[in-house]
Every structure is written in structure tokens, then in C-alpha cells.
Chains A and B, each alone.
Chain A
Amino acid sequence: MDIQYKGEHLLPGQLGQLFVILAFGSALFSAISYYFATVNKNQLDNSWRNLARYGYFINTLSVVGIGACLFYIIYTNLFEYHYAWAHSSRTLPVYYIISSYWEGQEGSFWLWGFWQAVLGNILIWKAKSWENPVMAVVALSQAFLASMLIGIEMFGTRVGSSPFILLRNAIEGPVFSRPDYLNYIKDGNGLNPLLQNYWMVIHPPTLFLGFASMVVPFAYAIAGLWQRRYKEWIKPAISYSLFAVMVLGTGIIMGSFWAYESLNFGGFWAWDPVENASFIPWLTLIGGVHVLIVYKNTGHSYFTAAFLVIISFILVLYASFLTRSGILGSTSVHAFTDLGMTWQLLVFLFAFIAISVWLFVTRWKELPITKKDEETYSREFWMFVGAVFLALSCLQLVIVTSIPVWNAIFGTKTAPPTEPVRLYNIVQSSFAVVITLLMGFAQFLKYKRSDATTFLIRSLVYLFFAALISAVIIVLSGLYHTHLVYMLVIFGSVYAVLANTKYLADIFKGKTKLVGSAVAHIGFALLLVGAVISTGTSRVITINNSGVGFGTEFEKVGNSRENLRLDFNTPTKIGVYTATYVGDSLNGPNHYFKVNYKRIDDKTGKVKENFTLLPNAQANRKMGLVSSPDTRHYVFKDMYSYVSIAWPMKFQDDQTAENEGHTEANEDKEYAKPVAHEMNIGDTIRYRAGLIILKALNKDAKVRDIPLAKNDVSVGAQLEVQSNGKVFTTEPVFMIKGGNKFDFSKKVDSADLKVRFSNILPEKGKLEITTYVKPEGEKPYIVIKAIEFPSINFFWSGTIIMVIGFLLSIFRRNKELKTA
């Protein structure tokens, strides 16, 4: 029985689905046409190429069309579509609609396809004689990406997952048997609060541009093998590889900045499989860039250069398989969930592996592999060694991250290491030592061949200075408490900075032109210094041993206790600071906790520093508590803090309820039973949290804009409240208006108090003050964790310097392309 559903808008979805099919068809058509254009013997016949171009243009338009339809659906809140319902809500601001694109797998595949479409058009415009073979590869990859969005049944299995699937088709529920079901679906699920962050607007597009641009050097390497043009592909491949590593690197660091600023990981890098998945291809392509330059300059290492470039893209595909197939399961916190596309991702991966292997095998005998031995005192040889070590460090990441894959293949049940962060940190640091040292002394060597004695003397002198400087750094930063390998990384990095600075100085003397590489190397070395010092010497400053009552067995274990409870208005020592939880406020879904920090000089008692941090938490009925840190930034360190438990926790919907109809009676529940006191001026009331003194009476107290007639009386009681060493003044008002008694209470939240001037007793000559005191133990509190990260700014500034270095190199390599 077909149900005629009411109120659905099916047109944008159908249009979008049409674009999806068109995108897939046109990409496949373009790939096939480019293939025939490439194998066509007649050089003057452009017909295949023209067909292929049209195909690619149609694909580009379709991809833009998919994006437009999806945007329309989300923007106009058409919750009959699963994607809009799952990832958006009516209250979502427009700029976060962009973020909701990449919360789901479909949207992120679209983003990848979009960038690949853009890059394809640039190649059509720029690649000249390389267009046909290179674009055949790119268009094939585009066809695979488009197939991920199809979402229809073919040969008994579902191919891809469409962003235009209707809610009633995606989820089963009794509500969908009603023709007017849409009346019951008022709002979408909303965007994950963690993604509602400005970094999440720009981090995924950058990362995916990086991923997408990995296909270009790969396509050049494949085209070079396919067309037997073993030399020419190198130069354009260097430029595109530099672009890819620059963008991907920026995207990765943006992600870690997002993690640092708004997640409570407690740091900028957690070696999560999803993070590793983006880092792995970056490492291999960095190696690839170096070996490409080696091959360009010496003709050595052709195979390694092509291999590294090709494996980088294969690893991008492998990374998508890891993060999108659900195989990581319980080992990762933020992998995508399984959409049943495992086999499709595997086909994508193995198709490109097969093409690469087949080309290597068939061309093996012709490959320009030199039999001559490399020169030991040449920069190329050591660049090559460095690249190999990068690949090895990558191997370790791949092997450990893929433990769930090994389990699936071999049917084993191995668990990941119990302390993965420590394992990764030590192993990867060991590689970093070798690589930074190579980054340093390779700069003293010349291309092709250099004099051994001058080289040795120079590098030894610099090694000596590097040892001195790094010793100072290690002592000052306190790094000597840690593992030896971290000290060696500092040594290597300092050496790399010195050697590359010397190299830069030579450039300004006009000896050489390779500014970009020296700058990028300095940036990378600084980044490592920042990463090692901040991770190695970060210190939790909320250590607390105040826990009581859970038995001695627990105490004995010597657990460090890193969470500290801050009671409302109770100053507590945190490291060098005195922290006080002074209040909270709600802004949209964010619940901000105001924590004041003071640094007080022990001797003089002067306040040297006074600032307030607002870590926040989002209490979302669907998500639970999601907390975001707030950080005090200094030049040489950061003080980072987040709230893990808060009591009471306020929800956004409570707030609305409060605004709409908050009754006095309801509020009084927060207080213990009211107590009436009869007082004269100068009398004092003692209560749980301090003293209340009646200072004076104000004979004509004004309450807002209530007009007073001639016989009306309005008296304010000027009270001084002393609580927790603080003094507050407040003035509740008693009023007789038109013969009726009114009074206006005042709250002193910081003193847990509400006071009413409840009556005047003329017969006794006294006043009646009623006090409402919040019971003890009901004081609001938060549990916070605060961490000091020293030298973290080296990490961020190193990144910026590295990116500038990449940019300079790209400009220079492009110049080479033009003059060549």
C-alpha cells in the first residue's frame, strides 16, 4: 500500500540524486575518453580529448549541483531528508551549515570530490601534453568518489550512500505510517556541539584539499610510467607534491589546534587512529618530495621517488578505508560509523594498487635505475637516507594503527598497546632524532659532491654549538626529567635550526637560491621543539589529595589525582594561582563557568596577576555534557583548563522555561526554611555563611518605576552582609501602597542568601527581616582540570614558518618550470 505523504518537498532531492548519477556517469565517461585519447596513435586527433573534457566539465557542474541541492535542503530545514535531520536543526546558524556538510560521510566525500573537480580543471588548463594520461587517472578517481554517493541497489548490494535519502527510507518508525508524519518531526538532531566551532568551518576543507591534491603527483607518476616518459613528470610533480604537503600539513595542524582549543583531550595530539590516518600520507609524500629532487638532480633513485609518490595516494585511500569502514571499531573515538561501504572502499583501494603494481611490473626493465654507486659526500645521498627514515617512521604508524585490520585478516584478537601515546611518542621521537640530524648536516653538503674535510669540520663545529644550546634548553625547560630520546630530539632540532640558519645566511650573501627549503626546515625543527617540550614537561596543576572516605586501599596505590573540585566562592590553590569559581552564565547551548585566577605574591601579598577564564560545557540532552577548555596564553606557556563535572548543570531548555514563567515559590525551594528576625538599626543576625548588619533605613526607596501616591510608604533596609571575608550591601524594600503591603526581596548569591524586608512592627518599634539561606552542601561546584603547556607557541609558530617555506619552494619550482 502506497501512502500519499503530505508536505514533503521531493524536488530538491530528486534533482540532487540526478546530479549524483550524472556526476558518476560523466566522470566514468571522462576517464574512458581520456584513456582512448592517451592510447590514440594519431597525435592530431583531438576528438577523444574533447569528449573527455566535456565529460569532466559536466562532472564539475554536477558536483556543484549536488552541493547546491544539499545546501538548499539543510538551509530550508527540510527534515524529510535524513541528512538534514541527522546533521542540522532549526537553530543552527547559517555559517555552521557548512560544518554540517562534513559531519556525515556523504558530505565529506562530496567535499573531496569537489576539490578533485577543481584540481582537474586546473590540470586541463595547465597540464598541456600531460593532460590525457594524468586526467585519465584523476577522472577515474573522481568516478570512484562519485560512486560513494549513489546510494542505490545494484547487483544485490547497495552502492554508496546518498545524501538525498529520505528520513522515512533511512529509519524505520511507526510514525512513518502516517501520511502527515512531517508534522511530528519538528526539528533535526542538530550538529554535534563539538563541531560548532569556527575551526571546524575551515579545518575539514583544508584537510580534504590536501587529500584531494595527493592525486595529482600520483597521476603524474602513473602517467610517467604509462607513457614511458620517465624524466619529464618530475618537475610538475615536485610543484604539486609541495602544494599537497603544504595544504595537508596545514589541515592537520588546524585539526590539532581545534583539538587543543575546544576538545578536552588535554593536548594537541593524541595519536588517535583518525589523526594518524591523515599524518601517514603526509610523511610519505614529504619523503617523496625529497627523493624527487634527488632524482631530478642526479638521476639516482627513480624507483624510490615514484614509489613514495604512488604509495602516498594509496595510503590516502587506505586511510579513508580505515576511518570510514568502521573497522577501527572500539579503538578510535572519532572514526566515522560504518555505512556498509567496506567492500566499495576496498575496491577503490585495490583498483589503484593494481594499476600501480601492473605498471611497475610491465615497465620494470626499462626503469632508469642506475648501477653507479651514490656519492657519500653529496646532499642527495643523505636526502635519500632521510626520506627512507621518514617512510620507516610511517611504517610504524601504519602497523600499530592497523591492529584491528590485522585482527580481521588473521582472525587474531590482539589488543592495541595499553599506553599507545607513550609508545608512539618514543618511537616517533627516535625517528625524529635521525631526521633532524640529517636535516642539519645535509645542508653543509653540496649537491653532487663536496669536499669531505670542510664538511666534517663545519658540521662538527655546529654540532658542538647545538649541544651547548640544547643543554641550556633542556635544563631550563626541565626536560631532563624525561626520557633521553626527547633530549636528543631537542639536540637534533637545534642543530637543524642552526645549520639551516647558516644556510639562509649564505643565501643572502647570494651563494644559492634555495630559500624555501631552509625556511621550511627551520619551521619543522621549531615545531618539534615545541611539541617535545610542551608534551614532555606539561604539568597538571590541579593535583589534589583532599579526597576522603574511600578507604586506605585506594590511597595506597599512589594514583595522582588530577581533578579538583572548586566550590562556589571558595578560593582554592591551583599551582601558583588562587582560583575561585565565581559564577556561571548561559549563552545559547553553552554553559560558561567563570573562574577567577589570582597570582598573589607570598611575601608582599600583592596581586601580581588577575584574570578570569571561562571554560564552558554544553549540556545537551542528547549528548550529555560536552566540555570545552579555556586557555590563558603566555609567550612561553599556556595554562589550559576545562570543566569535567558541574553541579548544578543548566540546560538550554531550562533557561527558556525560566524566562517564560519563573515563580517565586519555585525559586524558594533552593533555600532552607525562611527565618524571620525582629531587628533595630545596628542589630546583627548571624547565619550559616556570615553576618547581616542592619545599617540604616532609607525612607524613600524607589523600586523601579512604581509611582508612589501621597499616603504610600516605601522603606529600604540598608543591610551589610559579611560572608567569606567579603562585604556586600543590599537593600530590600518594604512598601505600603494603596493600603496593601508589598515587599521586594534581594538576593546575595555570593553569600548564599536572600533577604526580605517583610514587615514593620510599629507596636514593638521593630522591623522584620526574613532571611532565606541556601543550605550547606548545596553550594554549586565544578570539577576542573588545569594543565600547563610550556613552549607550545613554538609548535604553532614553527608550523607557520614551515608553511611559508613550502610556499617559497613552490614559487621557485614553478619558476623553474617556466624557464625550463
Chain B
Amino acid sequence: MKKSSILGIVIIAVAICIIISTYADTSTYGSFNEAKNTHSELHVVGHLNKDKQLIYDAKKDANYFSFFMKDNKGEECKIVFTGTKPQDFERSEQIVLTGQMVGNEFHASKILMKCPSKYIQDKVEVTEANATKQASI
């Protein structure tokens, strides 16, 4: 067999591995209900319940932030985020959380929020807050 054919087979094999591993590593968008039934991390999309209390007090704990979010199915859950409160969180229109349920609380490792841009009124911008685990490789 020609070397180039061997190389070709290797390339195809690696390419397939990449695609499969990508597929295996992707996550899913779900609801709080689904989060309760799984142990893996997933993304939940929803919005902040502005009627309930947001807790962040750096005097007590600089790494504790909690709030209540309603997912797109209308279910509400208490969210706990280990980190500082993202700026302008109260103004967010939509929130995407990454994390999992711990008891009755959803522990978010990442908060991605969409704000009506304060910066340019006719645009929408996205900001991100990453929780604690930086560079954990």
C-alpha cells in the first residue's frame, strides 16, 4: 500500500474521532425539571425573577450570589453562584446558566446574560460571568 493511502486512513480516523468527541462533549439546553433528573451539567435558559430577593453581600461572603430564575417552561428555582455578582445583573433580559442541581438549588458554574444594552440603545449585547474554576486543566 502506498504511504499516502495509509496517511489518508489515519486522517479519516482522526477526523471521525474529532467529530464524535465533539458530539459527545456538547451539552444540552434543558429545564430545571430535567436538571433534577440528571447528574450531568446542562444549560438552562430563562429569566430573572425580579420580585424575589437577590443576595449578594461582600461583607458576609464575597463568593456567594443567589437569586431566583424562571426557566422557559415557567418553573422557578433558586440559583447559587460561587462568585461575585455580575455587573448590571438586575437589568438582564435573558440568562443562560451552566450547572447542575444540588438538592433544591441549582448551582451555576457560569452565567451568561443578555442585557438591553446600556451602551448603544439599538443593540443588544452579551456579557459573561465565569464562576470560580479558572484554568482548571
Residues of B within 8 A of A475 (CB): none
Give residues of chain A (426-442) contacting chain B, Cβ–Cβ below 8 Å: 426-427
Tell me if B119 and A399 are in contact (CB < 8 A). Answer: no
* CB of B34 within 8 Å of the partner chain: no
The contact string, 1 if C-beta is below 8 Å from chain A, for chain B 116-129, is 00111111111110
Determine which of B3, B15, B96 lies in contact with A392 in the assembled complex, contact meaning CB atoms within 8 Å. Answer: B15
Residues of A within 8 A of B29 (CB): 413, 415
Residues of B within 8 A of A189 (CB): 119-120
Complex CA distance for A562 and B27, rounded to whole angstroms: 26
Complex CA distance for A722 and B21, rounded to whole angstroms: 64
Tell me if B21 and A549 are in contact (CB < 8 A). Answer: no
Tell me if A547 and B42 are in contact (CB < 8 A). Answer: no
Q: Which residue of A lies closest to B40 (CB)?
A: A418
Determine which of B22, B66, B126 lies in contact with A333 in the assembled complex, contact meaning CB atoms within 8 Å. Answer: B126
The residue among B64, B110, B114 with the most chain A CB atoms within 10 A of its own CB is B64
* CB of A787 within 8 Å of the partner chain: yes
Given contacts A559-B132, A561-B82, contact A536 B4 (CB under 8 A): no
Tell me if B22 and A396 are in contact (CB < 8 A). Answer: yes
Residues of A within 8 A of B53 (CB): none
Q: Quick check: which of A276-284, A507-515, A621-629, A745-753 contacts chain B, the rest being far away?
A: A621-629
Residues of B within 8 A of A482 (CB): 137
Complex CA distance for A475 and B107, rounded to whole angstroms: 35
Give residues of chain A (159-192) contacting chain B, Cβ–Cβ below 8 Å: 170-171, 189, 192
Tell me if B84 and A645 are in contact (CB < 8 A). Answer: yes
Tell me if B137 and A417 are in contact (CB < 8 A). Answer: no
> Nearest chain B CB to A617's CB is how many angstroms away?
10
Residues of B within 8 A of A621 (CB): 118
> Nearest chain B CB to A684's CB is how many angstroms away?
31
Report, as a range, how many residues of chain A touch the other chain: 35 or more
Tell me if B59 and A385 are in contact (CB < 8 A). Answer: no
Given contacts A554-B64, A563-B62, A624-B87, contact A535 B135 (CB under 8 A): yes
* CB of B83 within 8 Å of the partner chain: yes
Tell me if B82 and A559 are in contact (CB < 8 A). Answer: yes
* CB of B51 within 8 Å of the partner chain: no
Report, as a range, how many residues of chain B touch the other chain: 35 or more
Tell me if B3 and A645 are in contact (CB < 8 A). Answer: no
Residues of B within 8 A of A535 (CB): 135, 137
Tell me if A557 and B58 are in contact (CB < 8 A). Answer: no
Q: Which residue of A lies closest to B127 (CB)?
A: A333
Q: Quick check: which of A58-66, A373-381, A494-502 contacts chain B, the rest being far away?
A: A373-381
> Nearest chain A CB to B87's CB is how many angstroms away?
4
* CB of B48 within 8 Å of the partner chain: no
Complex CA distance for A399 and B66, rounded to whole angstroms: 35
Complex CA distance for A104 and B10, rounded to whole angstroms: 44
Given contacts A395-B15, A415-B27, A787-B134, contact A373 B126 (CB under 8 A): no
Determine which of B21, B26, B109 lies in contact with A416 in the assembled complex, contact meaning CB atoms within 8 Å. Answer: B26
Complex CA distance for A364 and B63, rounded to whole angstroms: 62
Determine which of B105, B126, B133 lies in contact with A560 in the assembled complex, contact meaning CB atoms within 8 Å. Answer: B133
Q: Which residue of B lies closest to A192 (CB)?
A: B119
> Nearest chain A CB to B25's CB is how many angstroms away?
4
Residues of A within 8 A of B85 (CB): 645
The contact string, 1 if C-beta is below 8 Å from chain A, for chain B 26-43, is 111100000000000111
The residue among A170, A267, A418, A560 with the most chain B CB atoms within 10 A of its own CB is A418
Complex CA distance for A399 and B24, rounded to whole angstroms: 13
Tell me if B7 and A388 are in contact (CB < 8 A). Answer: yes
Could you show 27 A-B contacts with beta carbons less than 8 Å apart? A330-B112, A332-B126, A385-B7, A392-B11, A395-B15, A399-B18, A417-B25, A421-B135, A427-B18, A538-B134, A547-B61, A548-B60, A550-B60, A550-B64, A554-B64, A557-B82, A563-B84, A565-B59, A621-B118, A622-B118, A622-B119, A625-B87, A644-B84, A645-B58, A645-B62, A783-B62, A787-B134
**A-B pairs with lowest CB-CB distance, top 8:** A547-B61, A561-B63, A624-B87, A559-B82, A624-B88, A415-B27, A415-B43, A417-B25
Chain B residues close to A by CB (< 8 Å): 2-4, 7, 11, 14-15, 18-19, 21-22, 25-29, 41-43, 55, 58-64, 66, 80, 82-85, 87-88, 94, 96, 98, 102-103, 105, 107, 109-110, 112, 114, 118-128, 130, 132-137
Supply 20 further A-B pairs (C-beta < 8 A) apart from A374-B3, A414-B26: A266-B134, A329-B126, A330-B126, A381-B3, A392-B14, A395-B15, A415-B29, A416-B26, A426-B137, A535-B137, A536-B135, A548-B61, A550-B61, A557-B82, A557-B107, A562-B134, A565-B58, A623-B118, A624-B87, A777-B59
